[in-house]
Structure 1
Amino acid sequence: MPDLNDPTLRLAADLVAIDSRSFVSNLPVAERVERELRGFEVERLDYRDAKGVAKRAIVAHRGPKGGYALSGHLDTVPATGWESDPWAPRIDAEGVMHGLGSVDMKGQVAAAIVAAQHAGADVPVTLLITADEETTKQGAHVIATRSALAKSLGLKGIIVAEPTSLAPVRGHRSHIAFTATAHGVQAHSSTGKGDNANWKLLPFLAEMRSVFDRLRSDVSLQDADYEPPFSDFNLILDNHGTALNVTVARATAHIKFRYSAKVDPGPVLEAVRGAAQRAGLELAEQHEGKPPELPADHPLVALGVALTGVSAKTAPYGTDASELQALAPCLVLGPGDVGTAHTPHERVRAQDLLDAVPLFGRVLEAGKG
């Protein structure tokens, strides 16, 4: 039975135990990772996110130049809905590790680091460790645009570790995040002196429902190579803590639109921008890199298929590959089931993490010469 005495599982547990939700600093967990990188050339890329929170991305290299990089992120989603301590990692009697980030994706980071540590001296080994993958992909963007070390290596490709059940993912969607804001006047709702910003949002939201429906019915905006074929268009509303007896001074609609490489985002951009203008709303946009998608016969896809014995597929979610593809072709591959990610029951089979170590090692070995 796998237990926490194993170096991979011990490291995974150590990383899970450090709170690194995207809205807090990841410096403590980055420093824990750096303790594993003795003998590597380490480049620290420090930055502050949009809210001024200190973050760090890491590029580490050992051995000859070239070869393949292993990439993973250190941030997690919020701990919404957890009834147990999300930062108390444990392995149960069935050999399953529980904890926030266990599958998405500190377990993968641990497996990648251990595989890198075990690689031979003649093997080119590169690790790309990011932050903010769950939000803006800013850590990956910083590596892709600022890392002198990564750019100097002439990488053949990048394995972006995510929970794919060790099936190679050759392409996925990227997102555009829209933030539409309406302003009103705060007052006690009984006085009639307030101006509720929610009413100003309603015309915009009605048009957004039409966009949502069109994405699910208009085949020209769909991609049959993905499941589901229609693009995600997810809406979250925020009244910023306003009480029920107070008129809303600020109302915000957040929409995440995911699209694949074959889908033109232009009609959706035009519809959202037009609706916001007609409703008199402020509109902000945050764009990821273009959706990464390798052809089925690409050499990196062929390598992934050969090493796993599993056919390549596409995925409806997004990863750091949308930014890291600027450095080298990306294939998404890692242990665990994405179905438990972003849930209050996040978990991963310990054996899956252990099985990923030799697989990642074979990827690195394939980069020689």
Structure 2
Amino acid sequence: MTARPGSGPRPAHHDLLIGAVAIPSLSGEEAAVAEFLRGWMATHGFAAHLDGVGNAVGVRGDGPLTVVLLGHMDTVPGEIAVRVDNQGVLHGRGSVDAKGSLCTFAAAVAALPPEALAAARFVVIGATEEEAPSSRGARHALTGYAPDAVFIGEPSGWDALTLGYKGRLVARVRVEKDNFHTAGEGTSAADDLTEGWFRVRAWAAGVGEGEGVFARVQATLQDLGASADGLTQRAWATIGLRLPPGLSPEEAGEALCAAFADLDAEVTLLGHERAVRHPRDNALTRALRVAIRAAGGTPTFKVKTGTSDMNVVAPHWPVPTAAYGPGDSALDHTPEERLSLAEYDRAVAVLTDALTRLAQTLTPAALP
């Protein structure tokens, strides 16, 4: 591993991040990194444990309010050699999505002053299976906490915060019909499936037409195939929909099924989440904005076309919520995933400041 610029020992929060990124943790295989995170938190002032689904949980503070900081430990596949280059940039799978954000949470809470810890209880959760349809770690966390404010660990950039994510729906479509000679009249199974897909695309194009991408439906084919054995033709596809606020997965599912209704297709609706968009102005966003400005930045608000654990927890935790974390989300899931340690440092400083301010201002009167 190439040494970072400068001399002297690495800060403890750098060891935390580099160590976490160096441990492979595909969805469902997070045990090793969970134990590493638990151990780091236990030696930095947290009451730390692994819960029933393998989440790494650390708690500091004993105030009357509860702030949950929910990040995820798992990554998508794709091995990237872990190294810190001569510019102080950490390369490795998960550096941006989203161990950088999770480690920012742990490092910031570890650095909180006594007055913040007296005002609130801070719960850092390294969740399992966020990159899988199950969102197992976040769903389990819903059963154990009733927070007054929530941070979601996803890359926003150190000087920005994310307020919303689109929803999603996944459907599997299958068409079967008797084989026939291609010189005759009629349509093949693949023809029928393709016709249904064109209808889905046309419907999607009409939702939010003329508005920004966050208000529109994005439709993609995730899988497509066809076969024949001389007796039966088969065609199949997996369709993914990204849904805007105001369009529920149930409504999108009805539209998708209607597109295939006269094509004798079998449509199976799979994983789904509702879109979410939180308000711009509340105690949490004010604390983050002030902290970003104090660090020399100009705070910006973002909404994203993907999904996150914010979609999972929002219906159950109707409290001030934002996603925050260092890094460029355009690098998520790519071979170029990397995170500047300098940006990570700034995010830790900003979040420590924001949590300290939030603990002093977040009262029952400030909540919705």
Query: Does the TM-score normalized on the shorter chain lie above 0.5?
Result: yes
Aligned pairs for 1:1-369 (under 5 A) are: 1=5, 5-22=10-27, 24-38=28-42, 39-42=45-48, 44-47=50-53, 56-65=54-63, 66-79=65-78, 85-86=79-80, 88-122=81-115, 123=117, 124-136=121-133, 137-144=135-142, 146-147=143-144, 150-151=145-146, 155-182=147-174, 184=176, 198-215=190-207, 217=209, 219=210, 222=211, 229-239=215-225, 251-260=236-245, 262-263=246-247, 268-279=252-263, 280-288=265-273, 290-309=274-293, 310-317=298-305, 318-325=307-314, 326-327=316-317, 328-369=319-360
| 264 and 256 in structure 1: CA distance in 2 versus 1, 3 angstrom threshold | closer
One-letter identity of the residue aligned with 1:143: A
How many Å separate the matches in 1 of 2:251 and 2:311?
A: 21
Deviation of the 1:359 alpha carbon: 1.6
Counterparts of 1:68 and 1:103, CA distance in 2? 23
The offset of 1:165, in angstroms, is: 1.2
Root-mean-square deviation (Å)? 3.4
**Aligned CA distance change for structure 1 residues 18 and 70 (closer, same or farther; 3 Å):** same
- Structure 2 alignment gaps of length 5 or more: 180-187, 361-368
Tell me the CA shift for residue 21 of structure 1: 2.4
Offset of 1:127 from its aligned partner? 0.5
Q: CA deviation at 1:184?
A: 5.0
Aligned equivalents of 2:206 and 2:250: distance in 1?
14
Q: CA deviation at 1:335?
A: 0.9
- Give the conservation status (yes or no) of the 8 Å contact 2:291–2:353: yes
Aligned mates of 1:176, 1:367 — CA distance in 2: 32
Flag the 1:203–1:2 CA change in 2: closer, same or farther, 3 A.
Answer: farther
Q: Which runs of 5 or more structure 1 residues have no equivalent in the other structure? A: 48-55, 80-84, 188-195
Deviations 1:340-369 (A, max 9, x none): 112111111111111111222123322435
More strand by share: 2
Indicate if the aligned counterparts of 1:180 and 1:253 stay in contact, CA closer than 8 A: yes
Q: Structure 2: how far apart are the matches of 1:352 and 1:46?
A: 33
Kept after mapping to 2: 8 A contact 1:276/1:283: no
Amino acid across the alignment from 2:292: T
C-alpha displacement of 1:74: 0.9
Aligned partner of residue 207 in structure 2, secondary structure: helix
TM-score in terms of structure 2 length:
0.78
Residue 161 of structure 1 deviates from its aligned partner by 2.3
Distance 2:356 2:217 in 1: 37
Work out the CA distance in 1 between the residues paired with 2:252 and 2:195: 17
Aligned-pair CA distance for 1:313: 1.7
For 2:257 and 2:268, the matched residues in 1 are separated by 7
Does the CA-based 8 Å contact 2:165-2:304 persist in structure 1? yes
2:185 aligned residue: none
CA contact (8 A) 1:131 1:139 kept: yes
**Looking at CA atoms only, which structure, 1 or 2, has the larger radius of gyration?**
2
User: Which residue identity lines up with residue 173 of structure 1 in the other structure?
Assistant: Y
SS at match of 1:46: coil
* Percentage of pairs with the same residue: 21
Q: Aligned pair count?
A: 334
CA distance in 2, matches of 1:292, 1:207: 27
Per-residue deviation, 1:5: 2.8
